[in-house]
Chains A and B, each alone.
Chain A
């Protein structure tokens, strides 16, 4: 299994497929550049991220806060009324930072030079599914996000240890409070069920024993760092998945990763994420073999995956439902426009069902068909007016004062200089803007990388014909119409 892609199949369609799945898509020029590189170099240009300079600065507050200690001390001494006021201010500050953090990450996905690194970060965010709703601290959420970026293409064991000692995770699954007298099983259970093995591959006893071994992993809320608390740790002998010893947290992860199921579990999830359907048992075994042969490293696995014949099966191409993030970041890349303001993006993603840093539960998002309901589909159609034309479809704004204000500002800017709308002259040639046949071809190639059904193309042409000589607004209207089809929701 895992045949190597025949270089003869390397063309616009397969290169576009690679860029869509390993990243967030791109412009026809970017796809053409990958075609010219050939498959091996094209994949390398995405996978070998350390060769790509990434000068994006971190948010200014993305560091331990030296004044936090004083603030906590002041909080303890304050009167009830003062404490209330201080807590309100703290919550407000954290909410503002969260909004900034969401915008910061989206910017990396929609504009950044390392799309695969961001795609993997998104994968790990869904996998470890930690939510601000419980962590309530933007710095911790940023820090976990940065961890995914730094270790997400590296070694599986290392990643799991880093995540296990990550402050946001220590809070999210209550590991910080786990003591030998009352081991908290939350993290131990999800580590096996959701992170490494899957249900049915361990016993309840394994969970309680692993929870004992993990005691001592905790959080120092003053330094905002992981701390090993010897007094919390259970020093007794534990038996986990058939192995017996005086294990600690690192041992638990080592034992789990050594299970054959651990490789199969993560390769199946990665294949499903990138290919859009679950792998056959044979294919998954081949992927797990590659992963094992390469010392549980993700980068060689992904390189093999993106260079496999199977990944480019015709039945996979343009058959994956775009996640809301993919829909937004991909649209921004294809339209060569700026991201809308952070507040607008946050509302958009919440409406479409993918609130970054707030996955719905410990299992993360259900990918695929679950993104689409009648409501979210109509919302995508209406938000495409925002992205293409820079106008907020009026009804979307009802009952949302903050979004309305942000939207109105954007619409005003749009009217003034049309910064909110697509720059038609930047992405289309003069000929394409004049000649309706050329225009229809260029728009489909850019937005779908394939063709509409003849009936749809006829309807789009009727729209254009009804306008006579086209102005830029009408061309943007045509873009919006293509984005308002079932086809555009797929990648």
Chain B
């Protein structure tokens, strides 16, 4: 019963505001009201719930396809590296040097500036035991934080939602893209997925200009929750502790329809009324991060954003492809972090990259690299401990496992650090067991 006032507020809000004046309302007031009441209910629990303006935000950036870590953070002075890659090895005078032995790929000027500004941590040698070399399966392992030989039903962020976000609005997590990442799958599904705000809505097929859109209006009325006081049962069922679905299928669908309408209206209004403060390069990844920046700047209560960039499966003619991808990546992330700084949100935002695996140490016969194991990942933000974290895996032939780098950091230690240090939630219930959090944050 505790949460009933909240949904009541949302229902009233929907009836009184959305239906009468479409998008002319001011979002922050509405969000503040809703989330203030959620916060009040959660105050006695150990978990922290999003409050819009002041909570921390995590942005996940997936580099799909398996990025070649060795040509991203380059051990240019290492003999084994040079010998394993007669065609692909980058030389000391090409890379953007971090120290005497490591340098960033020359296209990563954006990363280099963030590194020098103390806003970037490079975590070296990230992987997991018994690495799987299938894109499909290894991505699943990263998304579900599972052991290589175990299948987990829910994603690691989904388990975070189940553990720490019961009662949250669905917009607690926003994925920019087409299909919800597996990391979001949860006992109680949370999060919304959208390619662009303009398609995340009911798109009326009413033809002809002028006049009001009768289809849109009828649609809203047909999807409006029942005003009769008969929904109390379902409200308790869907928002009680644990959030197990106990209501009927129709109750569930009606609630989702309501959530869809509110989040659609909110996201479109917030993204439309907020400006980016910096210029982004032209790319799909940049577009995604540009939208995330607008949503953050506009005060969305979202705690997790998820964006992705594909194309890293460089079996053939790697240099040109990787150059293009990394330039795009560096430019987009740099613009985004600068945008956060201009908004005054640099200290609230943490951006973490991952790729399902690195690539083999030795290049292949096609001027490319094949699926491998451990690789670096990158964490950005105003509160990261800048510099290098973890240790670089050895490239000595006797230290390789089937020709691959052996991981020095389990990716779940990175997740543990993010969960505990950034999202302020115990990591064991999410990760299934204890992983020592990596020292990533100041």
| Interface core residue of A276, A350, A460, A486 (most chain B CB under 10 Å) | A486
> Which listed segment binds B: A66-74, A227-235, A306-314, A473-481?
A473-481
Contact, CB under 8 Å: B222 / A456: yes
Residue in B134, B189, B201, B221 whose beta carbon sits within 8 Å of that of A456 in the complex = B221
B218, A377: Cβ atoms under 8 Å? no
Residue contact A398 to B198, C-beta cutoff 8 Å: yes
Q: Answer whether residue A14 sits at the interface, using C-beta atoms and an 8 A cutoff.
A: no
Contact A391 B198, beta carbon cutoff 8 Å: no
Distance in Å: Cβ of B151 to nearest Cβ of chain A? 6
Name the contact of B256 in the complex, choosing from A377, A385, A391, A462 (C-beta under 8 A). Answer: A377
Instruction: Give chain A residues whose Cβ lies under 8 Å from the Cβ of B224.
Output: 455
Contacts A351-B179, A375-B200, A480-B205 hold; do A363 and B151 have CB atoms under 8 A apart?
A: yes
Q: How far is the CB of B263 from chain A (nearest CB, A)?
A: 6
Question: Which chain B positions have C-beta within 8 A of A381?
Answer: 202, 219
The answer to whether A382 and B206 touch across the interface, beta carbons within 8 angstroms, is no
Given A462-B214, A462-B218, A481-B218, A84 contacting B316 (CB threshold 8 A): yes
* B324 close to chain A: CB less than 8 A: no
Q: Which residue of B lies closest to A378 (CB)?
A: B260
A81 vs B202: C-alpha distance when bound (angstroms)? 48
Contact A372 B221, beta carbon cutoff 8 Å: no
Residue-wise interface mask of A (373-402) relative to B, using a CB-CB cutoff of 8 A (1 in contact, 0 not): 111011001100100010101111011000
Find out whether the CB atom of A382 lies under 8 angstroms from the CB atom of B218. Answer: no
**Residues of chain B from 190 to 215 with CB closer than 8 A to chain A in the complex:** 191-196, 198-203, 205-207, 214-215
Nearest opposing residue in chain A for B191, CB measure: A373
Please encode chain B, from 167 to 180, with 1 for each CB lying within 8 Å of some chain A CB and 0 for all others.
00010000000111
Is B218 within 8 A of A369, CB to CB? no
A369 CB contacts on chain B under 8 angstroms: 189, 245, 249, 252
Q: Does B342 contact A (CB under 8 A)?
A: no
Of the residues B205, B214, B253, contact of A393 by C-beta under 8 Å: B205
Q: Is B148 an interface residue (CB 8 A)?
A: no
- Nearest to B134 among chain A residues (CB) is A134
Question: Is B323 at the interface (CB under 8 A from chain A)?
Answer: no
Q: Which of B397-413 contact A (CB under 8 A)?
A: none
Q: Nearest chain A CB to B198's CB is how many angstroms away?
A: 5
Interface pair A375/B134, CB less than 8 Å apart: no
A363 touches B153 (CB 8 A): yes
Q: Which residue of A lies closest to B189 (CB)?
A: A373
Contact of B226 among A363, A453, A481 (CB under 8 A): A453
Q: Are B179 and A382 in contact (CB under 8 A)?
A: no
Taking each of A321, A370, A382, which has the highest tally of chain B beta carbons within 10 Å of its own beta carbon? A382
Partner of A490 from B179, B249, B316 at Cβ < 8 Å: B249
Is the CB–CB distance between A375 and B257 below 8 Å? no
Which of A276, A368, A377, A396 is the one whose CB lies under 8 Å from B257?
A377
Task: Tell me which residues across on chain A come within 8 A of B254, comparing CB atoms.
Answer: 486
B250: contacting residue among A319, A373, A477, CB under 8 A:
A319
In the complex, A56 has a CB within 8 A of chain B: no
Contact with B along A402-414 (1 / 0, CB 8 A): 0000000000000
Q: For residue B203, which residues in chain A have a CB less than 8 angstroms away from its CB?
A: 382, 385, 393-396
Q: Is B41 interfacial (CB 8 A cutoff)?
A: no
Q: Digit string of B353-386 for contact with A (CB within 8 Å is 1, else 0)?
A: 0000000000001100000000000000000000
Q: Which residues of B contact A389 (CB under 8 A)?
A: 205
- The answer to whether A484 and B192 touch (CB under 8 A), given A374-B260, A377-B260, A391-B205, is no
If the complex has contacts A377-B260, A452-B222, are A321 and B249 also in contact, measured as CB distance less than 8 A?
A: yes
A484 with B202: CB separation less than 8 A: yes
Question: Would you call A460 and B218 a contact (CB within 8 A)?
Answer: yes
**CB-contact partner of B222 in A374, A399, A481, under 8 A:** A481
Q: What's the Cα separation between A458 and B195 when bound, in Å?
A: 34
Beta-carbon contact of A372 and B256 below 8 Å: yes
Query: Are A374 and B256 within 8 A (Cβ)?
Result: yes
- Could you tell me if A374 and B205 are in contact, using CB atoms closer than 8 angstroms? no
CB distance from B295 to the nearest CB of A (A): 15
A138 to chain B, nearest CB (A): 17
Q: Is the beta-carbon distance between A375 and B218 smaller than 8 angstroms? A: no
Q: Does A249 contact B (CB under 8 A)?
A: no
Minimum CB distance partner of A465 in chain B: B214
- A362–B152 alpha-carbon span in the complex (Å): 10
User: Please, how many residues of chain B have a CB less than 8 angstroms from a CB on the other chain?
Assistant: 54
* Given known contacts A319-B250, A393-B205, A131 and B136 CB-to-CB distance under 8 angstroms: yes
Residues of A close to B201: CB separation below 8 A: 378, 395
Which of chain B's residues 224-279 have a Cβ closer than 8 Å to chain A?
224, 226, 245, 248-250, 252-254, 256-257, 259-260, 263-264
Q: Does B33 contact A (CB under 8 A)?
A: no
Q: How far is the CB of B252 from chain A (nearest CB, A)?
A: 6
Residue of A with least CB distance to B214: A466
| Partner among B140, B200, B223 whose Cβ is within 8 Å of the Cβ of A486 | B223
The smallest beta-carbon distance between A269 and chain B, in angstroms, is 16
Question: A80: CB under 8 A from chain B?
Answer: yes
Known: A321-B253, A350-B179. A375 touches B192 (CB 8 A): yes
Query: Distance in Å from the Cβ of A190 to the closest Cβ of chain B?
Result: 9
A459 and B222: CB pair below 8 A? yes
Measured in the bound complex, the distance between the Cα atoms of B250 and A466 in whole Å is: 29
Instruction: Answer yes or no: A489 CB below 8 A from chain B CBs.
Output: yes
Of A133, A382, A490, the residue contacting B136 (CB under 8 A) is A133
* Least distance between B144 CB and chain A CB atoms (Å): 9
Asked if B283 is at the interface of the complex by the 8 Å CB criterion, the answer is no
Query: In the complex the two chains form, what is the Cα distance from A385 to B204 in whole Å?
Result: 8
Given contacts A382-B203, A398-B196, A398-B199, contact A490 B182 (CB under 8 A): no
Taking a contact as CB atoms under 8 Å apart, the answer to whether A373 and B192 are in contact is yes
* A84 CA to B260 CA, complexed, in Å: 46
- Shortest beta-carbon distance from B43 to chain A in Å: 27
Given contacts A393-B205, A456-B221, A480-B205, are A372 and B252 in contact (CB under 8 A)?
A: yes
Identity of the chain A residue whose Cβ is nearest the Cβ of B212 in the assembled complex: A466
Closest to B252 in A: A369
Q: Which residue of A lies closest to B194 (CB)?
A: A375
The interface residues of chain A lying within 8 Å CB-to-CB of B219 are 381, 481, 484
Kindly report which residue of chain A lies nearest to residue B315, judged by CB atoms: A84
Given the complex of chains A and B, what is the CA–CA distance between A460 and B215 in angstroms?
9
Does A487 interact with chain B (Cβ within 8 Å)? yes
Contacts of B260 in A (CB 8 A): 374-375, 377-378
A300 at the interface (CB under 8 A from B): no
B284 at the interface (CB under 8 A from A): yes
Given contacts A362-B151, A481-B222, contact A395 B199 (CB under 8 A): yes
Provide the residues of chain A in CB contact with B249, threshold 8 Å: 276, 319-321, 368-369, 490
- Known interface pairs A378-B200, A395-B196; A477-B215 also in contact (CB < 8 Å): yes
Q: What residues on B are CB-neighbors of A485 within 8 Å?
A: 222-223, 257
- Given A369-B249, A484-B223; A375-B193 close (CB under 8 Å): yes
A89 to B279, CA, bound (A): 40
**Closest chain B CB from A392 CB (angstroms):** 9
Q: Is the CB of A486 within 8 A of B257?
A: yes
In the assembled complex, the CB of A158 is this many whole angstroms from the nearest CB of chain B, namely 27
| In the assembled complex, A60 has its CB within 8 A of some CB on chain B | no
Task: Tell which of A134, A321, A360, A463 touches B215, judged by Cβ atoms closer than 8 Å.
Answer: A463
The digit string for B90-114, where 1 denotes a CB below 8 A from any CB of A, is 0000000000000000000000000
Interface residues, chain A, with chain B CB atoms under 8 Å away:
80-81, 84, 131, 133-134, 276, 319-321, 350-351, 353, 360-363, 366, 368-370, 372-375, 377-378, 381-382, 385, 389, 391, 393-396, 398-399, 452-453, 455-456, 458-460, 462-463, 466-467, 473, 477, 480-481, 484-487, 489-490
Given contacts A80-B366, A490-B250, 4 further A-B contacts (CB under 8 A): A351-B179, A366-B185, A373-B256, A395-B200
Please name 23 pairs of A and B residues whose Cβ atoms are closer than 8 Å in the assembled complex, sorted by A.
Answer: A80-B366, A81-B366, A131-B136, A319-B249, A372-B252, A373-B191, A374-B263, A374-B264, A378-B202, A393-B205, A395-B200, A398-B196, A455-B224, A459-B221, A460-B222, A463-B215, A463-B218, A467-B214, A481-B222, A484-B222, A484-B223, A485-B257, A486-B254
The 7 closest A-B pairs by CB, nearest first: A395-B199, A486-B253, A459-B221, A393-B203, A374-B260, A463-B218, A375-B193
